[in-house]
Chain A
């Protein structure tokens, strides 16, 4: 075959290949520079700032974010199904905030075994960090201490309290509770925990638990609610029983802000989810690049009260401007 004929054949192949590429481009588009971020829930005050934090870092690193979640926060099976669907799409990596600790352990181990980088936010699954796995955790122990000191402060070191929203299915909640009680016992021995109640994934159920507690005749000076769902449920019950002034409520995780302004909720130990999103994406970038990254990053929480709700520090963690490129 002469050079001319070879050239002609090659050119034909190139033309056809180019055309084929143009035609199938939309279908052949791979997601290799996109990281999937799967929060417990989309559209909430707790997790939208994480979206913003992750997106800003991703844009800086020349990457994209796919942000979506199962429509139900309490649907761990749905989250696992969703996770499997995401893995099949071939994203560069996955950032996830598990609904529960134990059920997600196996699926995430499988993902790691397939070599896909993954950053777990909010819950330590017990799987050791590796070149494919890193954690970004809220410092729940510090959060428990923070809540205990706030209770000690507003009760002046004396009184009876209840703890609601205890949830063994999320290790972070358990850490909060233990840290809270340890701190309270050590630093405020005259404040007594007179009731403990398990938590649910539904506000109405939490509300009923709180109403039952208020109906039980137990004398309370304050309630600590360990999740945003239990915080909202307890707040509703306090309003229902007209005890928002008589019983102080210290909650966890940002959700309802207006009652903080009005005093219906004394304070909330908020997660710096915007920061957590940023850190998670930085770790993901490192894992994708094959760099050595910190296995577990712990982000300290922030106490949000009526006094500091409009402070720059708090507002930054409530910022969800994921659409901004910078």
Chain B
């Protein structure tokens, strides 16, 4: 009897294991699209968007479900909405798109490999002249080798601007904000002299990945030095005078004692700025509310004037349509609806504030950022998609860390990074 019972239990366990394996395989299909395995219903689309609600407002799901109701009714369709967390977001959308069982419409952040693998459909035929007139950032969309547009910008902003803690600056006798690299050095020295316990200026050279570190630590200065990431042939153009200028700027910060040795373990500049341990940082415009909520008396400018003038980095994330989507016309209609002025206005007001992407939108960023976006959009640059960008940024960060510890010169940073990129990353 005992043996029989044990046998039954073992069989139940085995069945459970097998069912579990089966369920994991089918759940991705069941919960996403009925796309490739079974032909999708023509009036059914799967939409994947990431979480952007980090505050107290309506959740992303509540917001989008409300917004999509009218679209579904008007187009007699069903939108299967999935809100994904940022954890492994890129991996999730890659595997979803490659399996053919993922989203029909997807929010993308890193698109190079997706476009190279032909996983995203060209959108040109769905974009009318009127649309081209209305969308502000079409230049920042992602294009394939044939020059076809494969994504439509949805979230544009979080420009990396320079913040100043005015209490610290005033205590150091500084009443006017610096405008050039040299003036910035002078202000930093004055702060250091007046308050040696405070970081005059910090950058995230202890970040855990290159993308985070370079976003505020390198790219703004690279653009201020007149750098362009890709040349006219679409090849990586980082072995340039602008790269050298930007690296020399960073190195000078260390050489002149504005950064101390612990800069290579610095992973949270905004935290230091909030706690009053740092006087100046570069951070996204999205950080402003945190600074205000924490009582920091801050002011900001778009950027310092470098050798080539003003310049900073801006983020552009977009929507794309999976190549396997069976109703691309409806999908295109959906992405235009999602990015339309009224929908984005509501989204920016209720979920996450960013610059408007269409001319018919009315949402305005809080000042001084609205003016910055209005007046200086020509000096806000996107780091374009290129092969192995993440590897490149990681390698660049690690070599800059070596420069800050005195092991490499700026020229060697470029040399080492480009050699590694050409030999190991580029196919």
Q: Indicate, yes or no, whether A interacts with B.
A: no
* A residues neighboring B (CB under 8 Å): none
